[in-house]
Amino acid sequence: MKQAICLFCVIALMTGCRDQIPIDPPPVTPVQVRIILEKLVFSPNEKINIKIENRDIEPVFLEGCSVFYISAKNDTGWNPPSPFLVCVWEGIARQLDPGDIYKEKQQISNPGVYKIAAPVYFGCESDKPISQAGCGRSELIWSLPLTIVENL
């Protein structure tokens, strides 16, 4: 009798939880474009080699003037990303074909924890600024957190 009651309780709990917790999460289609850092700990003003690799099956487009953005960790989370380079004009979008890598070196002077971000655009017309390229969609991709340490 105790086993029957326990079995009933288990079934009731499982049935009640099924409505609240998805058993099969929806499929996720990850962007096949990623930011790669050569390491994750740097000294202030040390050159940081940043790469974007396109592992997608279609070309992607990067912003023409400032490809990379930076976000600093704060007490409550992360600051909004801001460009490494402030531009007067957005420039012509950079096309990154499947298998290609875009590289850039940047520096961060203040100790702390940061992430590098890059807006990536899909389905754009070539040789135009992003604002005029008629892109189909965009994603903001992020690096792993990196740390700037004063006495490295």
Which domains does the chain possess?
28-148 (2.60.40)
Per-residue pLDDT, 152? 66
Q: Contact 150/44 with Cβ under 8 angstroms?
A: yes
Q: How far apart are CA 146 and CA 152, in angstroms?
A: 14
Q: Return the biggest CA–CA distance within the chain.
A: 78
Model pTM score: 0.77
- Each residue's pLDDT tens digit in the chain (152 positions)? 444 444 444 444 444 443 444 444 444 446 699 999 999 999 999 999 999 999 999 999 999 999 999 999 999 999 999 999 999 999 999 999 999 999 999 999 999 999 999 999 999 999 999 999 999 999 999 999 999 999 86
Positive/negative CA dihedral, 107, 49, 144, 97? positive
Q: What's the Rg (C-alpha) of the chain?
A: 22
